[in-house]
Amino acid sequence: MSERRISLTLVSALGLTQIIGYGTLFYAFSILAPGMAKDLGLSLEEVFGVFSISLFLGGLAAPIIGRQMDRIGAATVLTIGSGLSAAMLAFSAWSPSVIVFALAIILTEVSSGMVQYQAAFAALVERDPHTAPRGITYLTLIGGFASTIFWPISTALSGHFTWREIYLLFAALNLLVCMPLHFWVMLKGKAAHASGQMGKRLHVEGVVPQARRRAAMMLVSVAFALLGFTLSSILAHMVPMLGALGLGGAAVVIGALFGPAQVLSRLINMVFGTNLSPPMLAVISAALMVFGILLLALTGASMVGAVAFAICLGLGSGINSIAQGSLPLYLFGSDGYGAISGKMTAARLATGAAAPFVFSMAMERLGLDASLFATAALGTIGIAAFLRVAMGVKRG
């Protein structure tokens, strides 16, 4: 029972840092971007262009971060990352020119890879790989509230402070809340290792034989990248896209259903999904997202179709976050988990960063309906890849 309490305390601590990490380093940007653009004399498109580049480069840094997690420990990386994130947010707030601002935002997003899901999942695997899948589900349930909390907080703060002052406040949150919590997680892990409490639980074997690991890793990485592209394409344009379909003011309300649906899917999985293997979880998440996009393409301006689309997309996205953490552990084991998850994260984030621009170009040249069908087609290839992995595991 005490181990369970320790695990829940660990997950709660990491959950709080994930809310702050995603809230300050990712979700707040879209709210503060207009203020940044006005202050720096840039267009809103240019500000978001800098952000897209930063996400792309942050994705490329993920394998390096993953290798460091295996070398010095995920909790140590989380602790260092909190300090770097605070420093980069302060650097962004200070930036006196566009060039310095762009560099600061890029470094901020690179440092975010040290404190968000990739590192938190690895910390749970590092602490106890046997209970990590359950911990990942709990963690994503808590982390799912990041946008719900930080979008309104950022909006409220922007009515009283400049974006620079808000970024300084966010830097303080990372330094004074996240860094001490991550340091505590690091000390807890070291104490458990030193006392021998972890015993044989420190190692979990993957189900994929060594000879097939490389091919399976490539297949899963491609699947996550395709689904990452699909999701990022739609999310970046969701509200204006729904408006263009003729849904008017209801577009914002419908789009807002996405967040609660994410949390709901994680809650459902926590209660009822314990018998689902991670490969099947990945298949279900991909199928829900693709089904939602197809619904929107087929039903057009239908209110019912648009609501079903937002809910399905949110349900699929919520489960996909769980699969990102649990599937690599299930397939390849706990040894080298940081490096493996880092490679998969790099593929997903790199394609996701380019997705909004590509989808925007597709809508302009092909039209919305054709773009939705094309995006669904890419997602369907992702479903097929996950199915191939699931069937391969079953045969093995």
Stretch 339-364: mean pLDDT: 82
Query: Which segment of 221-230, 232-241, 280-289, 324-333 scores lowest on mean pLDDT?
Result: 232-241
Q: What is the pTM of this model?
A: 0.83
Tokens representing residue 14 in the block = 């990491």
Share of the chain above pLDDT 90, in %: 34
Identity of residue 127: R
The answer to whether the CB of 101 falls within 8 A of the CB of 36 is: yes
- Sort residue 204 into left (φ over 0), alpha (ψ -120 to 50) or beta: beta
For residue 3, the model assigns a pLDDT of 46
How far is it, in rounded angstroms, from Cα 319 to Cα 224? 12
Model confidence pLDDT, tens digit, residues 112-151: 999 988 899 989 988 888 788 888 888 988 888 887 788 7
pLDDT at 5: 45
Helix axes 74-94, 2-22, angle to 10 degrees: 20
* pLDDT number for residue 169: 97
Each residue's pLDDT tens digit, 81-106? 999 999 999 999 999 999 999 999 99
| Alpha-carbon span 250 to 40, nearest angstrom | 33
Q: What is the pLDDT of residue 91?
A: 96
Rounded Cα distance between 142 and 84, Å, is 23
Considering the segment(s) 2-202 as one domain, its CATH architecture is: Up-down Bundle (1.20)
The span from the CA of 84 to the CA of 213, in Å, is: 34
The residue-averaged pLDDT of 362-378 equals 89
Q: Does 210-395 match 2-202 at the fold level?
A: yes
Which of 119 and 349 is assigned the larger pLDDT?
119
Q: Give yes or no for a contact between 140 and 117, defined as CB atoms under 8 angstroms apart.
A: yes
pLDDT of residue 155: 84
State pLDDT tens for residues 4-59.
444 788 899 999 999 999 999 988 888 888 899 999 998 887 888 888 888 888 88
The whole-angstrom distance between residue 29's C-alpha and the CA centroid of its chain comes to: 15
- Please, what is the average pLDDT of the chain? 85
pLDDT-wise least confident of 202-211, 242-251, 316-325, 365-374: 202-211
Predicted local confidence at residue 360, as pLDDT: 79
**Is 255 or 261 the better-scoring residue by pLDDT?**
261
CB count in 10 Å sphere of residue 365: 9
- 3-state SS of the chain is CHHHHHHHHHHHHHHHHHHHHHHHHHHHHHHHHHHHHHHHCCCHHHHHHHHHHHHHHHHHHHHHHHHHHHHHCHHHHHHHHHHHHHHHHHHHHHCCCHHHHHHHHHHHHHHHCCCCHHHHHHHHHHHCCCCHHHHHHHHHHHHCCHHHHHHHHHHHHHCCCCHHHHHHHHHHHHHHHHHHHHHHHHHHHHHHHHHCCCHHHHCCCCCCCHHHHHHHHHHHHHHHHHHHHHHHHHHHHHHHHHHHHHHCCHHHHHHCCHHHHHHHHHHHHHHHCCCCCHHHHHHHHHHHHHHHHHHHHHHCCCHHHHHHHHHHHHHHHHHHHHHHHHHHHHHHCCCCHHHHHHHHHHHHHHHHHHHHHHHHHHHHHHCHHHHHHHHHHHHHHHHHHHHHHHHHHHHC
Cβ–Cβ under 8 Å, residues 133 and 328: no
Closest CA to 269 of 251, 258, 282: 282
Tell me yes or no: is domain 210-395 CATH 3.20.20.70: no
Give the pLDDT mean for 159-176. Answer: 96
How high is the pLDDT of residue 4? Answer: 45
Chain position carrying tokens 């949150």:
173
pLDDT category at 193 given cuts 50, 70, 90 is low
Q: What is the pLDDT of residues 279-313, one digit of tens each?
A: 888 999 999 999 999 999 998 878 898 999 999 99
> CA–CA distance from 316 to each of 194, 210, 325, 335, 388 (Å)?
40, 30, 15, 28, 19
Residue 75 — very low, low, confident or very high, per pLDDT cuts 50/70/90?
A: very high
pLDDT at 395: 55
Q: Domain spans of the chain? A: 2-202, 210-395
